[in-house]
Chain A
């Protein structure tokens, strides 16, 4: 047993212990210990995954689960960690570690009851995610996957006294189960067609499958993993589930769990099937584009901070899918280096999103916890009350808006580069599609920045908009510390992207067959056929130089001019007497221009009430006006009700079959028997 295996076993054991400790805890110190143990195990996993990424695959044979002997291929319960697994393990463990650390304070301060359950559940949740990443067989994968879904369901309904939580949990559970069904279909198709249940065995046999089977596997996997990743139109569980859960759980789910949908998709489409026809790529690209744009557009009009963040998860999943689709397309066209570039952008964005979305959700958790409301319109002025959280949230907002020097910029920039590189492929369809999608991506990033100006500005700046916001205190230090770790990662990956990119390209050597050398990073770009890549590489040295020079100039200016004097004066109040928080810019007002521009998309229902503020005869002088905009989500409003009522109707009709009458059951058997006999006869009977 070498170091990598030992570390993995240690971290699995640590997470198991954290789970048990959490569930069994009686005293607060045990809850705290459970979270800390989980965070430590995650940190170990981080080290382990980096070692595997640098050192190569951990084969299934070398690491069976302790104490199990694979009796048959079906039961071969093995752990395997190839570079793809290791990369996603890295994604899971870095965010997981920071979130579990932050949970110590979060749970203590903001979760009034069942803290032990929360701690144990979080530990188990991370454990199942680690297992999903490292499963080497479809059997273990499905068990871990389903366990992950169930644990997260129970965490979503942690506040089960709240009817909204229960409903959100139910929607999540139902959709996840349907998704698991689709995944099961795709895996069973693969397993029966190739006669193997391990990744290696399936990958070896999947190449020779008939196109129809491969298409079916692809579609089933896309629906199944797409639901978990919250890809439009399978996203509707997410905007409800994230706000309903405690914020650290939201961070785990939105930051980490939905990425595993991407993992599964990559595993099946690239790892097992080894790519496919171009319509696969175009399907993923179309869904990614729709997800990105719809996600950000809906995010802009949300006034519930956590719901806003939830919609941004859909947007970012869309961006990741754009990278995946572009990668598949380039591979199909025969440009493995470009495919590697697009997929590297997707993988990097996956990691980046895991970092900054966890950061943002933890920040939102602090804001929501301290003010007791999720409504942006009731926050405000929090930057004075929780400067550390505000700084962390600001970093996250910059990163998610793809602004340098943070990590979101790097991955989206890479994605743009790969899209523009389509012009060297000579395929007109690819050129057209990717240039349109580049525009979509640009619009998405712009709108994301717009949205986070709103989120940060309304929540943290200006004066408190309610008494709750005024009374908000300072959040616990471990929560701020967890955010600090994530913010540091966001910055580090932003200024030194080459390190992260090196890790992100490791899995791609196997997946794309690209000649991606070690430490490649961006040099793939200079290998472009038409040489257009010459100007592209992002030279870390140059960036550092520029940054350093900028800082130097700033410092010099500051030195020469001296520190600017702080002048305190009265606020400009437009001639009114005392400005009240009601006069501040509101979230609704800030979103208005976008609602107007995209009116066709939103179809807003506007309501404007006015009521007399004073009794007659002064009614003429003042009226209280209240303007609200309601946005119906078309997919939610038009697609899901018919589907849901169809399913319920079918279930009712099915239940009529269950008459409870013995004769009826016998009749079913009789009809089936006769039908089968006739079928056998019609088909021609068994071969002699």
Chain B
């Protein structure tokens, strides 16, 4: 049973990684959001499997919370924002899809190489998750940098957060329930604030392109 769980853990973690990479190549915002939802779902399952492996009840709570908040509520909110804004649903980017995809691979290589060198972590049983989490984190960061629209940047931030969460359960079997609860609450607030902000931005400037904020430059 445990062996099966370990294999399932590998698969679900792989899904988290692959979805992160796929989010780099989407051209439509809805597809990006869907990918994020799948990733969060896979992340919740991963957390559940870790909880099963270590028999840690509080991680079950986290897993459930991740599935509910990150995989269902946040994507729903984001889709509503996209629909209500009525702007072009294309992902405008600074780096082309091909460049982004290659950058994603480079990030993965860097993460594996870097984390492999950090010896103290090798003793943790689920340390295999660590390179993946760093890669997800950096891919989220990359999204944040190369996507022009504010809403896609919000998705990038959420992907980063998934990476951090994965690192948390990989190393400490959960960052501690209360920290994680706080994080989840933060995310919700972030999403709501982002939504309001984006709508105001749309009203005021008639676009949601973060690049246009340069007009504020002195």
Bound together: yes
**B117 pairs with A680, CB closer than 8 A:** yes
A74 in the interface, Cβ–Cβ < 8 Å?
no
Q: Say whether A632 faces chain B, with CB atoms less than 8 Å apart.
A: no
Please determine whether A661 and B211 come into contact, CB atoms closer than 8 angstroms. yes
Asked if B119 contacts A678 (CB within 8 A), the reply is no
Contacts of A673 in B (CB 8 A): 138, 141
Cα of A674 to Cα of B108 in the assembled complex, Å: 12
Secondary structure of the B contact surface, majority rule: helix
Q: Quick one: closest A residue to B123, CB to CB?
A: A688
The interface residues of chain A lying within 8 Å CB-to-CB of B216 are 660
Q: B202-218: contact bitstring with A at CB < 8 Å (1 yes, 0 no)?
A: 00000000110110111
Stretch at the interface among A57-65, A599-607, A662-670: A662-670
Q: Are B138 and A674 in contact (CB under 8 A)?
A: yes
When C-beta atoms are compared, the residue in chain A nearest to B148 turns out to be A663
Is there contact, CB below 8 Å, between B114 and A681? yes
Chain B 107-134, CB-CB to A under 8 Å as 1, else 0, gives 1001001100111100000000000001
CB-defined contacts of B142 to chain A, threshold 8 Å? 670
* Contact between chains at B94 and A688 (CB < 8 Å): no
**By the criterion CB–CB under 8 Å, are B145 and A670 in contact?**
yes
Interface centre among A659, A661, A666 (most CB of B within 10 A): A666
Residues of chain B within 8 A (CB-CB) of A593 are none
Decide if A677 is an interface residue (CB 8 Å cutoff): yes
Smallest Cβ distance from B123 to chain A, in angstroms? 9
Assign chain A's interface to a size class.
Answer: 10 to 19
Interface residue ranges of B66-123 to A (CB < 8 Å) = 94, 107, 110, 113-114, 117-120
Assuming the A-B contacts A660-B217, A674-B138, A678-B110, are A666 and B118 also in contact, with contact meaning beta carbons closer than 8 angstroms in the complex? no
**Whole-angstrom distance between the Cβ of B109 and the nearest chain A Cβ:** 11
CA distance A681 to B214 in the complex (A): 36
With both chains docked as a complex, state the minimum distance between the C-beta of B146 and any C-beta of chain A, in angstroms. Answer: 7
Shortest beta-carbon distance from A683 to chain B in Å: 9
In the complex, how many angstroms separate the beta carbon of A114 from the nearest chain B beta carbon? 33
Please tell me if A210 contacts chain B, counting CB pairs below 8 Å.
Answer: no
**Contacting residue for A667 out of B118, B145, B214, B218, CB 8 A:** B145
B29 within 8 A of A: no
**Known A-B contacts A661-B214, A662-B213; A685 and B119 likewise in contact (beta carbons under 8 Å):** yes
B110 touches A677 (CB 8 A): yes
Closest residue of chain A to B117, judged by CB? A681
CB distance from A652 to the nearest CB of B (A): 15
Complex formed: what's the CA distance from A660 to B134 in Å?
28
A684, CB-defined interface residue at 8 Å:
yes
Q: A678, B94: Cβ atoms under 8 Å?
A: no
Let me know if B159 is at the binding interface, CB within 8 A.
no
Query: What residue in chain A is nearest B141 (Cβ atoms)?
Result: A670
Q: Please name the residue on chain A nearest to B107 by beta carbon.
A: A674
- The minimal Cβ–Cβ distance linking B122 to chain A, given in whole angstroms, is 9
- The answer to the question of B37 belonging to the interface, with a C-beta cut-off of 8 Å to chain A, is no
Residues from chain B with a CB closer than 8 A to the CB of A688 are: 119-120
Give 1 or 0 for each of A626-669: 1 = CB within 8 Å of chain B CB.
00000000000000000000000000000000011111001101
Query: Besides the contacts A686-B120, A688-B120, what 15 more A-B pairs have beta carbons closer than 8 Å?
Result: A660-B217, A660-B218, A663-B94, A663-B146, A663-B210, A670-B138, A670-B145, A674-B107, A674-B110, A677-B110, A677-B114, A678-B114, A681-B114, A681-B118, A685-B117
A residues contacting B by CB (< 8 A) are 659-663, 666-667, 669-670, 673-674, 677-678, 680-681, 684-686, 688
18 A-B pairs within 8 Å (CB atoms) are namely A659-B214, A660-B214, A661-B214, A662-B210, A663-B148, A666-B144, A667-B145, A669-B141, A670-B141, A670-B144, A670-B145, A673-B138, A674-B138, A677-B114, A678-B114, A681-B117, A685-B119, A688-B120
Q: Which 6 A-B pairs have the closest CB atoms?
A: A660-B217, A681-B117, A677-B114, A681-B114, A666-B145, A685-B118
